[in-house]
Amino acid sequence: MLEIKDISKRFVKRLDVAAKIANRLGASAKEEVVHAVDGVSIAINKGEVVGLVGESGCGKSTLGRMVAGILEPTSGEIHYKGNAVAAKTGKDAAEAALQIQMIFQDPFASLNPRMRVEDIIGEAPVLHGIVAASEKVSYVEQVMLRVGLDPEYRRRYPHQFSGGQRQRIGIARALAVKPDFLVCDEAIAALDVSIQAQVINLFMDLRRDLDLTYLFISHDLSVVEHISDRVVIMYLGRIVEVSPTDELFEKTNHPYTTALLNEVPRVEMRGLDYQPISGEIPSPLDPPTGCHFHPRCLHAMDRCAAERPELREISPGRLAACHLNDDK
């Protein structure tokens, strides 16, 4: 249903006038380029829940924003149901793209503090003609019920709700435009542990009832484990491994995935060698050559520093990008 073809996103920090003048005079300030997402391709099927996992700063949010049409890719294409997804800057391009909505991490920053809940939820559906203005209130009440909010609170402001409730408001806002694909960017990371499970359950109920497809972003593999059908692992802007969830937890392929999995404290792993990932995450401004992971990889070879490993199929439905797979 969703097909991402070789998309990249570069953020360029342009030189200001002072630096330009300094350069004229012989200084060598360079434009800083962050390769936030670097040649990523994945296809997501209808009804699937795909977990996107990686350390902070590896480009998960950037990828999610491009899928949701908030950011324009620097290169590459995203096709949804066969149509290209354009960034939603122009209003016309938008209507079709309402089908992909995003749930955000921060339950405080993601709701406009100056709007009442009924406007936060009801603004877009009325504007796009999904409901008549006269039916806004009853529509909003219906959506609020759907996500487990008391409709009586519809005239309140976001600051009058708890974190979990705010996140439900954000979910209601997205659902109100009848999407069929949700990008959830660390959607439970900022919540109390006791509330995380409730919100995850809500996501799963919605998936069942509304036939939704999810791209579920998290830095934490254990969150994704219970809800995803497939897991995509990213490292410094690139996909390093794609695998059905159960197979991944049975046996990892990429050394980075192995290291990530070892970081998750797991009951069945107690007593085994605990090997946290050594070393810092390299700066995305200046990523390592070849395989981005080689400075931290226990299995690094000469070739790893020189040559970028391609993402290849290693068994049906599983992909990985590591030179170790070539020797087998």
Partner 1 sequence: MSEIQQTTRDVNPDILLVETPFQRFMADFLEDRVAVVSLGVLIGIIFIALFAPLISPMDPYDLAKVTILNGKLPPGSQSMDGVTYWLGTDGAGRGLLSSIFYGLRISLGVGVASAVVALCIGASIGLVAAYYGGRTDTIIMRIVDIQLSFPAILVALVLLAVLGKGIDKIIIALVIVQWAYYARTVRASALVERNKEYVEAATCLALGDRRILFRHLLPNCMPPLIVVGTVQTAHAISLEATLSFLGVGLPITEPSLGLLIANGFEYMLSEKYWISFFPGVALLITIVSINLVGDQLRDILNPRLQK
Ligand X SMILES: Nc1ncnc2c1ncn2[C@@H]1O[C@H](COP(=O)(O)OP(=O)(O)O)[C@@H](O)[C@H]1O
The verdict on 113 binding partner 1 (CB under 8 A) reads yes
Binding residue (CB under 6 A) for ligand SF4 from 294, 311, 314, 319: 294
Specify the DSSP element, H or E, that contains 313.
strand 312-315
Q: Which is nearer to ligand SF4, 121 or 261 (CB)?
A: 261
User: Any idea which residue has 């149509």 for tokens?
Assistant: 83
Residue 34 touches which of ligand SF4, partner 1, ligand X, none (Cβ within 5-8 Å per kind): ligand X
Q: Is 97 in the site for partner 1 (CB under 8 A)?
A: yes
Q: Does the footprint of ligand SF4 cover residue 238 (CB under 6 A)?
A: no
- Residues of this chain that bind ligand X (CB under 6 A): 11, 34, 36, 54, 56-62, 284
Q: What is the DSSP string of 273-308?
A: PP-PPPSPPPPTTSPPSSSTTGGG-TT--HHHHHSP
Cα 143–Cα 206–Cα 242 angle in degrees, nearest 5: 140
Name the token pair of 59: 């480009």
Please report, as a single letter, which amino acid is at residue 120: I
Interaction partner, residue 127 (ligand SF4, Mg ion, partner 1, none; CB < 5-8 Å by kind): partner 1
Is residue 218 near Mg ion by the rule CB under 5 A?
A: no
Task: Return the residues of window 239-268 that contact ligand SF4 according to CB under 6 A.
Answer: 254-255
Residues 47-86 that bind Mg ion (CB under 5 A): 61
Q: Is residue 162 within the footprint of partner 1 (CB under 8 A)?
A: yes
291, 298 Cβ separation under 8 angstroms: no
Q: What is the DSSP letter of 9?
A: E
Is residue 233 at the binding interface for ligand SF4, with CB under 6 A as the rule?
no
CA atoms within 13 A of residue 201's CA, in its CB half-sphere: 7
Cβ atoms of residues 102 and 70 within 8 Å: yes
- Asked if 235 is part of the footprint of ligand SF4 (rule: CB under 6 A), the reply reads no
- Listed in sequence order, the DSSP H helices in 2-135 are 17-24, 60-67, 92-97, 117-127
Please say which residue, 71 or 321, places its beta carbon nearer to ligand X: 71
Which of partner 1, ligand SF4, ligand X, none does residue 80 bind to, with CB < 5 to 8 Å depending on kind?
Answer: none
Q: Note whether 257 binds Mg ion by CB under 5 A.
A: no
Which of the ranges 35-43, 44-52, 122-130, 318-326 carries the binding residues for partner 1, by CB under 8 A?
122-130
DSSP 189-258: TTS-HHHHHHHHHHHHHHHHHHT-EEEEEES-HHHHHTT-SEEEEEETTEEEEEEEHHHHHH---SHHHH
Instruction: Give dist(CA 134, CA 114) in Å, integer.
Output: 22
Binding site for partner 1 (CB under 8 A): 65, 68-70, 88-89, 91, 93-95, 97-98, 100-102, 104-106, 109-115, 123-124, 127-128, 145, 148-150, 153, 156-157, 159-165, 170, 173-174, 177, 195, 198, 202
Binding site for Mg ion (CB under 5 A): 61
Binding site for ligand SF4 (CB under 6 A): 254-255, 291, 293-294, 297, 299-301, 304, 309, 322-324
